[in-house]
Amino acid sequence: MSAYFKFFLMDVCFNTDKSSAASGGRGKGLFNVDSITAGDVEATSFGLTRNPAESFGLHRPNVYRLCCPEEKKAGVQKRCGKRHITDQRVPGHTTVAEVVGSSGAQAKGVSPLYIDIGDCQWSWEHCNAKFWYNERLKGYSKDQQVRYQKCCSGGKVTLKEERADTISINQTLRDGETIVSAQESFELGFFSPSNTSKNRYLGTWYKKFATGTIVWVANRETPISNKTGELTLNPGGLLVLRDNASNRIIWSSNTSTDTKNVVARLLDTSNFMVVDSEAGPENYIWQSFDHPANTMMPNMKLGRNLERGLITNFTSWKSDDDPSQGQYMICMDFSGLPQVYQKNGDKIEYRLGSWNGLAYSGSTSNHPNPIYQSFFYMDENQISAVIILRNKSVLSRLTLSSEGNMEQWNWITGTQGWLLYSSLTTDMCERYALCGVHGICDIRQSPICGCLRGFTPKRPDQWEISDWSSGCQREMPLDCGVGEGFRKYSFVKLPDTRQSWFDRNMTMEQCNVKCKNECNCTAYATLDIEQGIGCLIWYNEFIDMRILPGNGQDIYIRMSAVELEKDTRGSGRKTIVRAIVIPATLGFVILLGLCILIIMKKKKAKAQGLESDNQ
């Protein structure tokens, strides 16, 4: 690095009293110019992107400042020396001597050209850069506002602040400071949820687009009542949020590690992670994606992490200006075949269902979505659901409102607003168990609730007033007799799977045999409709079924021998009818054809006769 660069760097606007959280604390003190490299120019909190001499047209005396050694060690800058170099500057000149502090003591080997001119304790009003009193402009004394000419052209020149995406060990992020992800997609800092709320929360929000839309909150249940919050990363990898006014710990990540190279990093997915800076993000120590609020972001997993022993749900805010946990929750149930629920407290309100290889059994469409793709993972490490965007440029998020509405939102650049792309609770048939046990909902019918074929309402009087909660019962009970079998129902949302059993490798033929041989097996279905393999078996009553025209799947329900005879008799009658109707129809068509042929021949003969008479 040339002396030219060194002199410039020490003479530009530089606040020595403040450190920037976004720059890793590089704002404290002045530089020891002997240790500065060319890379340091780009790395400092100045955020320079051009040759500084070219940017500012630097032509000034050979003057530089640096900290006295004993005070630099203490991390503060109070006393500085100043050197006037009598030599003419030459390209590549790197000669740097020690300086003399304000004590006046001359260091060993220091030229007598060095002089002590006191403490550099005067600040320039525009950028708070430090100067010596003797450097002031003529005509300004201690009784006036001291002015200088060597910094920022009287406030006309400003330098771009570098925005880092990390917090380092023992570094503190204070209220008013933020970190920003690498592509400036998201920002993390302190916020108030509304103009009427004075409570302060640590959270993450959109930065470049949809600015201010909150996607994660750390201290949901314990807000800070003023702007004295501080977030610190401890050496053990623990994030600690503290109220500096009361010295009270508000929130922590509750993690620890022996790793020495720990940083907290905000990613462009909105995920805030504590990681080993020398390892990949898959070996994270802690991440905000494991602790969501009311927003499910792309790549965020809902379900159970078996390796870490974590269960991830997401819950509504209590209200628009209160991010504490509300009454609604989206969660995964792991009894039987895993499935996704929406709950209001302990009550199930909506069941998205279990994964069938293409979509969730309650999805109204199995066709590919152009915006996002759903995946379900079930192995020794996890049982989880995740949404991944097909187009990375699309901003999309899934939210659970304080009113219990589960909605997909997409950002529209043209209107600069969020568009409601879909709502997962679309009609009355989405209500959990609306038609009771053995009932089935069909939104195309009126009334929308009915009983499965072979079942009848338990309380007909209640059904007449549209109270279907009592459900249905079998017309002919099961007795595990020889003639029992299965009736196929198509295009349905499969019933609740909490009391189910499944095998991912069995064929449908094997599934049929297993269910038939077990008297308490009430139904079976294919586990994976895309691959046509896997066995799903029920051992209880059926609840929360609906008709999904063109989408649902097939289920085979166990029926009594007497009930199946109806199908046989019905099939037999249809066969007899076909045996009578088809020949009769065919005979009629043949007879009609003969009649038409005869008529045409007669007309032709008559025409020929008339022609002969005329001749």
> What is the DSSP secondary-structure string of 7-22?
HHHHHS--BSS---GG
Q: Assess whether pLDDT exceeds 50 at residue 490.
A: yes
Single-letter amino acid code for the residue at 608: Q
Final residue of a structural domain among 520, 541, 559? 559
pTM over 0.75: no
Bridging pattern class, strands 382-389 and 372-378: antiparallel
Specify burial of residue 470 (Cβ count, 10 A radius: 0-12, 13-18, 19+): middle
Decide if 469 is inside a domain.
yes
The verdict on 88 and 197 lying in the same domain is no
Degrees to nearest 5, angle at CA 90 with 84 and 96? 50
Final residue of a structural domain among 162, 183, 214? 162
The verdict on 158 and 169 lying in the same domain is no
The verdict on 44 and 81 lying in the same domain is yes
The verdict on 143 and 27 lying in the same domain is yes
- The 10 Å Cβ neighbour count of residue 448 is 19
Decide if 451 is inside a domain.
yes
- 422-446 in b/e form (b: 16+ CB < 10 A) is eebeeeebbbbbbbbbbbbbbbeee
The verdict on 245 and 270 lying in the same domain is yes
For 360-397, how does the pLDDT look when each residue is reduced to its tens digit (9 = 90+)?
999 887 778 888 899 999 999 999 999 999 988 899 99
- The total domain count for the chain is 3
Decide if 81 is inside a domain.
yes
Alpha-carbon distance of 236 to 260, in angstroms, equals 8
Alpha-carbon distance of 20 to 128, in angstroms, equals 14
Q: Which of 404, 372, 410 is nearest to 213 (CA)?
A: 410
The CATH number given to whatever domain includes residue 242 is 2.90.10.10
Do residues 407 and 398 touch, judged by C-beta distance below 8 A? Answer: yes
The verdict on 15 and 156 lying in the same domain is yes
For 545-586, how does the pLDDT look when each residue is reduced to its tens digit (9 = 90+)?
999 998 899 999 999 999 999 887 655 444 444 545 566 677
SS3 196: coil
Residue 109: left (phi > 0), alpha (psi -120 to 50), or beta?
left
Q: Which two tokens stand for residue 172?
A: 């503190």
Decide if 609 is inside a domain.
no
* Residue located via tokens 């002089």: 115
For 431-455, how does the pLDDT look when each residue is reduced to its tens digit (9 = 90+)?
999 999 999 999 999 999 999 999 9
What residues pair up with 501 in beta bridges, in sequence order?
Answer: 537
The CATH number given to whatever domain includes residue 515 is 3.50.4.10
The verdict on 157 and 171 lying in the same domain is no
Decide if 27 is inside a domain.
yes
* Residue located via tokens 């780009």: 42
More confident residue, 8 or 605: 605
pLDDT of residue 145: 63
Do residues 270 and 215 touch, judged by C-beta distance below 8 A? Answer: yes
The verdict on 128 and 108 lying in the same domain is yes
Cα–Cα distances in Å, from 2 out to 34, 44, 447, 542?
11, 17, 86, 81
Q: Assess whether pLDDT exceeds 90 at residue 605.
A: no
Final residue of a structural domain among 541, 559, 577? 559
Alpha-carbon distance of 123 to 74, in angstroms, equals 21
Do residues 205 and 212 touch, judged by C-beta distance below 8 A? Answer: yes
For 213-223, how does the pLDDT look when each residue is reduced to its tens digit (9 = 90+)?
999 999 999 99
- The 10 Å Cβ neighbour count of residue 346 is 6
For 107-148, how does the pLDDT look when each residue is reduced to its tens digit (9 = 90+)?
555 566 666 666 776 666 666 666 777 777 766 665 556 666
Q: Assess whether pLDDT exceeds 50 at residue 613.
A: yes
The verdict on 150 and 195 lying in the same domain is no
Q: Assess whether pLDDT exceeds 70 at residue 401.
A: yes
- 165-202 in b/e form (b: 16+ CB < 10 A) is bbbebebbbebebbbbbeeebbbbbbbebeeebebbbb
pLDDT of residue 103: 42
Decide if 537 is inside a domain.
yes
Decide if 582 is inside a domain.
no
The verdict on 126 and 143 lying in the same domain is yes
Count CA atoms closer than 13 A to 445's CA, side-chain side: 13
* Residue located via tokens 């066995």: 535
- 563-586 in b/e form (b: 16+ CB < 10 A) is bbebeeeeeeeeeeeeeeeeeeee
Average pLDDT, the chain: 79
The one-character DSSP state at 116 is -
Band (153; pLDDT cuts 50, 70, 90): low
Q: Which of 582, 593, 492 is nearest to 546 (CA)?
A: 492
Q: Which of 178, 152, 156, 174 is nearest to 14 (CA)?
A: 152
Q: Which domain does 202 fall in, by range?
A: 163-291
For the four alpha carbons of 495, 501, 502 and 506, in that order, the dihedral sign comes to negative
For 231-265, how does the pLDDT look when each residue is reduced to its tens digit (9 = 90+)?
999 998 999 999 999 999 999 999 888 888 899 99
Decide if 309 is inside a domain.
no
The verdict on 158 and 251 lying in the same domain is no
The verdict on 142 and 205 lying in the same domain is no
Band (12; pLDDT cuts 50, 70, 90): very low
* Residue located via tokens 């009848």: 456
pLDDT of residue 29: 33
